[in-house]
A and B are shown apart, each in its own frame.
Chain A
Amino acid sequence: MATAIEGDAPVDAGEAFRAKVRDWLAANFPPSLKGKDNGMSAVEGPSEPTPDEDAWRKAMGETGWGVPTWPKEYGGGGLSRAESRILQEEMTRAGASNPIGGMGVMMFGPTLLEYGSEEQKREHIPPIARAEIRWCQGYSEPGAGSDLASLQCFAEDRGDHYLVNGQKTWTSGGQWADKCFMLVRTDRTKKHEGITFLLCDMDSPGVEVKPIRLISGSSPFCETFFTDVKVPKTNRVGQEGEGWTIGKRLLQHERSSLSGGSGAGRMFAGTPLSQIAKQYVGVDGEGRIADADLRGRIVRHEMDMRAFMLTLRRASQEAKSNQGPSAATSIMKNVGARIMQERSELLIEIRGLAGLGWEGEGFGDEELRDVRTWLFGKAVSIYGGSSEIQNNVIAKRILGMLDHQ
């Protein structure tokens, strides 16, 4: 790649930024982390960071580049979309993955930037941008899943604070989280208008978490109980009774981040299925995957995946203005979930019984990992609004069809 020489024609601003990023990465990205990305943390929970991982996280936190487009005054990178793309390209080139993530980045941060008070933004956004604080999502309850607005966890007004009582469930990362953004009921006489958005410290007296084991064998989520938990009023986002509007906005952010962007790239990175199939199934005289039927299904999957990536690209090109996620995120979440699940199913099928190992001798690390990913992956069409609920959203909001449950 040609670099600009002083005295040449004025350097394109993008290229100058690219050079800056490159230098910065060379100085700050520990080579030992090249190509490493703890893709399993969502499945198995966080692991103890190595010194290099710590240093890398700190460096990214200081520049704010982990949340590149967030405003600088709250610890974000303050980059334009174009700059943010360059940053992503250069990180990919260097084999660096973004160590700043989690629910704070994916959903809570963007929502608070939009709805939070100035004090709330100053208090909560910088620690998210530096990955110092973990957030969890207290939405679902045993009786309120798809029908989230029927939630019952109650917050009673006690003057300067609320007293929260009730239960949440499927709280991802609840056992590791410092704080929880939650939807609570403040008015029993109204369904949607009786909901309020609160921020609760997970170490408040009266908060209790019980991990639940998943079919994949790990326990990354919890039942969470609230007994007389005090939440200061300063921790209410928006007005009392506005929680549903804010909560739904957050769900849109959740969907758009679940449907991919950089996540999608990661989902399909690694060895192509066709290559794995050649290894496990063998090839015919002309070098094709020996099992013609399986080959056909791999092709269909591959085409699906490309169509998805192209659609993601088209959507991002079309989103000229910075209006945030749209109803189309429902489509993308469903397609992303479908493709990811098909990939996992194909992988285990390609490997035969070697693709179904649970633990112990006789299996490779990748084989074992992909089994857990297959099982955990069954959740992507359930959480963040299940595929059925997204289809309802598409039918009603995009297609204008009638609301008949």
Chain B
Amino acid sequence: MAVLTEEQTMLRDMAREWADNESPVTAFRRMRDAAPATYYDPAAWEAQAAMGWAGILVPEAQGGVGMGYLSLGMVLEQLGRTLTATPLAATASATSALLLGGSEKQQAEWLPRIAAGEVIATLAIDEGPRFDPATIATKVEGGRLTGTKLFVAEGDSAQLFVVAASDGLYLVSGDEGVTRSPRKLTDSRSHAELRFDGAPAQKLEGGDDLLTQVADRATAAACAEMLGMAEAAFAQTNDYLKTRVQFGQALSSFQALQHRMAKMFTELELMRSVVEAALEAIDSGRANVSQEVSLAKALANETLHLVSREMVQLHGGIGMTDEHDAGFYLKRARILEAMWGNASWHRERFARLGGF
């Protein structure tokens, strides 16, 4: 566990308590069954904003709490544990673009409203089903942006888009020149397709490097959610093995299963280290952020992949049923594995950045 300040410890504990009590997996199930057009729970998002989480990254001067990425990660980890469906990760990722590349005027216009939870923001980067920030065809001419973005998280409800065009990142707000089409993925969250047809756009400073920096932050946020999911999936599996009796004994008495749990526990410890290290690297502005992020995502992908598969397998028949939660973890896991680059993508970048 990273060394936390007193403030961070409080934040983490509060988030954990809130997620456990106010937003358990049954809340996600209710949202899924109700299938709202937003694909998230507005009441939960309001509550999160009221607790200041929408403004975790936003400086105090703009109405936020300015606590940084490790703090954000801690909250997302707790929400990942219970699969809470809110636009926090997407909004925070878009916020990082404003913080890194926004002019004073742009920051003043958006950050206070984001911190207050009034504006849901998101990144619109990819134009294909796989993460590929190097191939972007979206164009801006005369302040008008044209292009199509696939699988935009919270794209069904966001009012502010940070859009990648061939010459950098742009802000697009409102619905002028924007067409949204919902896309239903296995995780029952929002992943809309967006068509921009001459939408008014404002450029952010920073060019190509800004996209890399912003994507790294979004990736780290995804890793934090994945950490929480892996932790919860593992804990539930461990609990189940202790209670399920077959052959007159608890499943947890079988050494074949004990060793598998021990392996997963080990992988989880490694995952926690690399995810926290990536978040800390961002907070302290280290030069090797990209490499730390790639390390984190590659391991997070593999560990969550393993744990989510084992969760179903070790629950046996019950894990295959919709009424059990295992399927929710499995389905959300694959989405996060694909978002912001799969393990191959990040291993490749890690090698490139390391010069081998």
**In the complex, chain A residues 275-300 whose Cβ is within 8 Å of any chain B Cβ:** 280-281, 291-294, 297
Contact string against A for B residues 212-224, beta-carbon threshold 8 Å, 1 for contact and 0 otherwise = 0000000000000
Neighbouring B residues of A388 by C-beta, 8 Å: 254, 256-257
Task: Please state if B334 and A356 are interface contacts (CB–CB under 8 Å).
Answer: yes
**Residues of B7-62 whose CB lies within 8 A of A:** none
Q: Is the CB of A353 within 8 A of B330?
A: no
Within 8 A of B (CB), among A298-351: 341, 345, 348-349, 351
Query: Do A215 and B331 touch across chains, with their CB atoms under 8 A apart?
Result: yes
User: In B256-307, which residues have CB < 8 Å from any A CB?
Assistant: 256-257, 305
Residue numbers in A under 8 Å from B348 (CB-CB)? 291-293
Whole-angstrom distance from the CB of A74 to the nearest CB of chain B? Answer: 33
**CB < 8 Å neighbour of A353 from B249, B309, B335, B343:** B335
CA distance A55 to B323 in the complex (A): 40
Smallest beta-carbon distance A145→chain B, Å: 5
Kindly state whether residue B246 has any CB partner on chain A within 8 Å.
Answer: yes
Q: Is the CB of B313 within 8 A of A352?
A: no
| B339 interface contact, C-beta 8 A | yes
Q: How far is the CB of B213 from chain A (nearest CB, A)?
A: 23
Contact yes or no, B320 A382, CB < 8 A: yes
Most buried by A among B317, B330, B337, B339: B317
Q: Within the complex, what minimum Cβ distance (angstroms) separates B349 from chain A?
A: 11
Which chain B positions have C-beta within 8 A of A42? Answer: none
Q: How far is the CB of A357 from chain B (nearest CB, A)?
A: 6
Return A334 CB to nearest CB of chain B, in Å.
12
Find residues 137-171 in chain A having any chain B CB closer than 8 Å to their own CB.
140, 143, 145-147, 150, 169-170
* Residue from B131, B247, B321 in contact with A352 in the complex, judged by beta carbons closer than 8 Å: B131
Q: Are A213 and B316 in contact (CB-based, < 8 A)?
A: no
B182-204 CB mask vs A (1 if < 8 Å, else 0) is: 11111110010100000000000
Contacting pair A381 B313 (CB below 8 A): yes
Q: Is B338 an interface residue (CB 8 A)?
A: yes
Contact A378 B322 (CB under 8 A): no
Whether A352 lies near B246 (C-beta < 8 A) is: no
* 8 Å CB contact of B323 from A212, A293, A362: A212
Are the CB atoms of B129 and A280 closer together than 8 Å? yes
Q: Determine the chain B residues whose CB is within 8 A of the CB of A363 once the complex forms.
A: 183
A213-B321, A375-B330 given; A362·B193 CB < 8 A: yes
A143 / chain B contacts, CB cutoff of 8 Å? 245
**Docked pose: A292 CA to B245 CA in angstroms:** 45
Kindly supply a per-residue 1/0 record for chain B positions 138-166, scoring 1 wherever the CB is within 8 Å of any chain A CB and 0 otherwise: 00000000000011000000000000000
Whether the Cβ atoms of B338 and A352 lie closer than 8 Å is: yes
User: In this assembly, does A387 line the interface, its C-beta being within 8 Å of a C-beta of chain B?
Assistant: yes
> B184 contacts A405, CB within 8 Å?
no
Chain B residues closer than 8 Å to A95, beta-carbon distance: none
B181 at the interface (CB under 8 A from A): yes
B302 to chain A, nearest CB (A): 12
Q: What CA separation (Å) do A354 and B48 show in the bound complex?
A: 31
Contact B185 A356 (CB under 8 A): yes
- Interchain CB contact under 8 A, B345 and A291: yes
A392 to B246 CA separation, bound complex (whole angstroms):
14
- Which of B185, B345, B347, B348 has its CB near the most chain A CB atoms (within 10 A)? B185
Closest chain B residue, CB of each to CB of A147: B246
Is B184 in contact with A169, judged by CB distance below 8 angstroms?
Answer: no
- In contact, B130 and A281 (Cβ under 8 angstroms): yes
Contact partner of A215 (CB less than 8 A), chosen from B248, B257, B320, is B320
| A167-214 CB contacts (< 8 Å) to partner B | 169-170, 212-214
B184 and A360 within 8 A (CB): yes
For residue B312, CB closer than 8 A to chain A, the reply is: yes
Asked whether A383 is an interface residue with its Cβ less than 8 Å from the other chain, the reply is yes
Q: Is A353 touching B129 in the complex (CB atoms < 8 A)?
A: yes
- Contact B317 A382, beta carbon cutoff 8 Å: yes
User: Is A391 located at the chain interface by the 8 A CB criterion?
Assistant: yes
In the complex, per-residue mask of B323-336: 1 if CB is within 8 Å of any chain A CB, else 0: 10011001100110
Say yes or no: is A98 at the interface (Cβ < 8 Å to chain B): no
Least CB distance, B192 to chain A, in whole angstroms? 10
CB–CB A378/B309 < 8 A: yes
A171 to chain B, nearest CB (A): 11
* Shortest beta-carbon distance from B288 to chain A in Å: 21
How far apart are B148's CB and chain A's nearest CB, in angstroms? 11
Select one of A145, A349, A371, A382 contacting B338, CB under 8 A.
Answer: A349
Complex Cα gap A215–B253 (Å) = 28
Nearest A-chain residue to B131, judged by Cβ: A352
For this complex, 13 residue pairs linking A to B, each with C-beta atoms less than 8 Å apart, are: A145-B246, A146-B246, A212-B323, A291-B344, A292-B348, A293-B348, A352-B338, A360-B184, A361-B181, A378-B312, A378-B330, A382-B319, A405-B247
The 8 closest A-B pairs by CB, nearest first: A215-B327, A354-B129, A352-B130, A352-B129, A293-B344, A147-B246, A213-B322, A353-B151
Task: Given contacts A348-B334, A359-B184, list 17 more A-B pairs with CB under 8 A.
Answer: A212-B323, A215-B327, A217-B322, A291-B348, A292-B348, A293-B348, A352-B338, A353-B151, A353-B338, A356-B331, A356-B335, A357-B186, A360-B184, A381-B313, A382-B313, A382-B317, A405-B254
Q: Residues of B at under 8 Å CB distance from A?
A: 128-131, 150-151, 181-188, 191, 193, 245-249, 253-254, 256-257, 305, 309, 312-313, 316-317, 319-323, 326-327, 330-331, 334-335, 337-339, 342-345, 347-348
